[in-house]
Amino acid sequence: MIAHKIELRPSRAQVAYFKQASGTARFVYNWALAEWNRQYKAGEKPTAYKLKKQFNAIKYQQFPWLELIHRDAHSTPFAQLGKAFVSFFKGVSKHPVFHKKGVHDSFQLANDKFHIEGKRVRLPVIGWIRLREPLRFQGKIMSGTVSRTASRWFLSVCVDAKPALKSKTGNEQLGVDLGIKTIMTISDGRQMQGPKSLGKNLKRLQSKSRQLSKKVKGSNNREKAKLKLSKLHYRISCQRNDFLHKATTMLVRESQAICIEDLAVGNMIKNHKLARHLMDASFGEARRQFEYKSAWYNTTLHVADRFYASSKECSSCGNIKQDLTLADRVYHCEKCGLLIDRDFNAALNLQKQLPMASREVKPVDSTVSLYEAGTKSVRLSA
């Protein structure tokens, strides 16, 4: 199951319908959640199916405006609420909360309710809409979701794609150390400096946040300021994801096996001095991309144990340096006298965790910036 998120190019009338359909989905979800809470307090056992049947019996009498919106927008929220409560009862997530206007505006469509032809899609009620790019993946379309980010609207198409391995450009065995100062340090000596988009745009974010806080709630000026802030957040996320996609694709495509760390990001961000930098580096997203792209390129991905001391262990003699701190950027082994970059030492140790990794490592003293050199060679192809 692969999802391809494509930007839409709708007209003003189509944008107005998107807003109405998203509002309808939000209204139905909140109605179902409120009814679920009421029935549960009354000692009943509500289910998503019972609530949907109850709502269908009264929806056009009590809410006649629903006839203007396609029925998928006010039928799929019940399944979403059911999944939310299943996760809650399993202890995976918290109790479902009411949806707010302007936050994650979206609505879903069944696979037989829309049709894609090249760079356009036909949606119910509003007809054909242009797409920024055609659908990348071949297979059976399972569902579609129209969502809004800042001022842009997207169609996420879930496809049951046939597995097809992509061609490789190398056969290396690499260890990849994730860090803050250098986002990725590779065991062959390369260092990938990330864009650090949040840090570079922090002053602009603070300025626009202050402007938003001074606007009167419910005014048009507040909506304008809110839109400007959301556009800046979207720009920052795009810069971060662009780097991660290029870096992970390049490494997976040129490798036979990769070893990364199992980082406890949730515990790491409890350090308030490093939390913003850790979130800007987005270690969790990097691991997610490594996992699914490794399957695409038939690359073995090995995740080292969370308690493996990759930074404290000497890559030459195996000595453990217990007094190593975050301020020590250069690793100095008192036993064998090795003097090496801290992150590079960790990358070499991660490489040794691979079963087929070569013990003879020849470091290459080089620094790679995906925004200065070699950008075309690492751009995603499909």
Q: Is the pTM of this model over 0.85?
A: no
Strands (E) located in the chain: 2-9, 106-110, 115-117, 120-123, 127-131, 139-149, 152-161, 172-178, 184-186, 191-192, 255-261, 300-304, 330-332, 339-341
Chain segment 157-181, per-residue pLDDT in tens = 999 887 667 888 888 899 999 988 8
| Predicted local confidence at residue 376, as pLDDT | 31
Catalytic residues: 177, 261, 343
Residues in a beta bridge with 340 = 331
Average pLDDT of every residue of the chain = 87
Angle, helix 12-41 to helix 48-62, in steps of 10 degrees: 120
pLDDT tens digits along 89-137: 999 999 999 999 988 999 999 998 999 999 999 999 999 999 999 998 8
